Each structure stands twice: as C-alpha cells, then as structure tokens.
Amino acid sequence: MPTPKNVLVLCTGNSCRSQLMHGYLTQLLGEKASVYSAGIETHGVNPKAIAVMQEDGVDIGHHTSNHVDEYSHVPFDYVITVCDNANEACPVFPSSATKLHHNFPDPAKATGTAEEIMSQFRAVRDQVKAYATNFTHQYFA
C-alpha cells in the first residue's frame, strides 16, 4: 500500500469551514491520507459545525482547533485554504505541497433566526462536501 499523503486544510479560525472539510476528507480518503486542519488563529470548533456534520453522518465532535504552527514539522502534499483571509496570510510551507484555494462563505457570520443561521451552515457544509468529493476524485482517483 502506498504511503498516505498529508493534507492540510487551512482557514482563519479553524472553527467551521476547515473543520467541515477535515471531516469530509477524512471520511472520503480513509487510509489514503492523513488529514489535518488548522487556522492562522484558533477559535474553537463551532458547535453548529458539529451539529450540521452530525446531520450528514460525520462526527467531528472530537476535533480540536489547532494553530498552523503546530504542524510546521509535517511534510504536506496538499494545502487547501478555504477562505481568502487564510490564503492571503498563509504561511509559506517549506515543501512542494500542491496549494489549492476555494473561498467558502463563513457560516459563523450568518445572521437571522436560529433556523436561518443553521440553513447557512448547511449550505456551506454542502458546498464543502462537493469540493471535498471533487478534490478526492481529482487527486486520489
């Protein structure tokens, strides 16, 4: 079996978007990759992100919010930034990692009723799931 690839998902606070992507990539890639997620800051894992992933059968309740510096020793094969802020502030990794970027809306900034806010989380979750599926097919087929 080939050596698993290392994948890092990076966003601003490592609380929503990167956690969603981390959950889906872990599920989709299994033993093909070690998936990490981090932020350029740490805001804690958002309980609404945990809830919408649970609705889709993915448990990210055990995830932690990590700072990107914690993984400076890991030789990443792929670095995926999931927000413009992280893309612009992304530290330079001394590696030949393939860098990918997609700006997902931040569901933590959603406003409205509780249901409207959860609706935003679900919409972003579904966008992230589609991206994770496409990434898996493109790079791990």
Ramachandran quadrant class, 80 (left: phi over 0; alpha: psi -120 to 50; beta: rest): beta
Q: Which of 58, 68, 83, 124 is catalytic?
A: 83
Active-site residue identified among 51, 74, 89, 90: 90
User: For 48-113, where are the E strands, in sequence order?
Assistant: 78-81, 98-101
Q: Which one of the listed residues 10, 11, 50, 58 is annotated catalytic? A: 11
> What pairing do the DSSP bridges indicate for beta strands 5-11 and 78-81?
parallel
Nearest to 38 by CA among 97, 83, 1, 104: 83
Is residue 16 among the annotated active site residues?
Answer: no
Q: Within 13 Å, how many C-alpha atoms sit on residue 57's CB side?
A: 3
In 3-state terms, what secondary structure has residue 18? helix
- Report the catalytic residues: 11, 83, 90
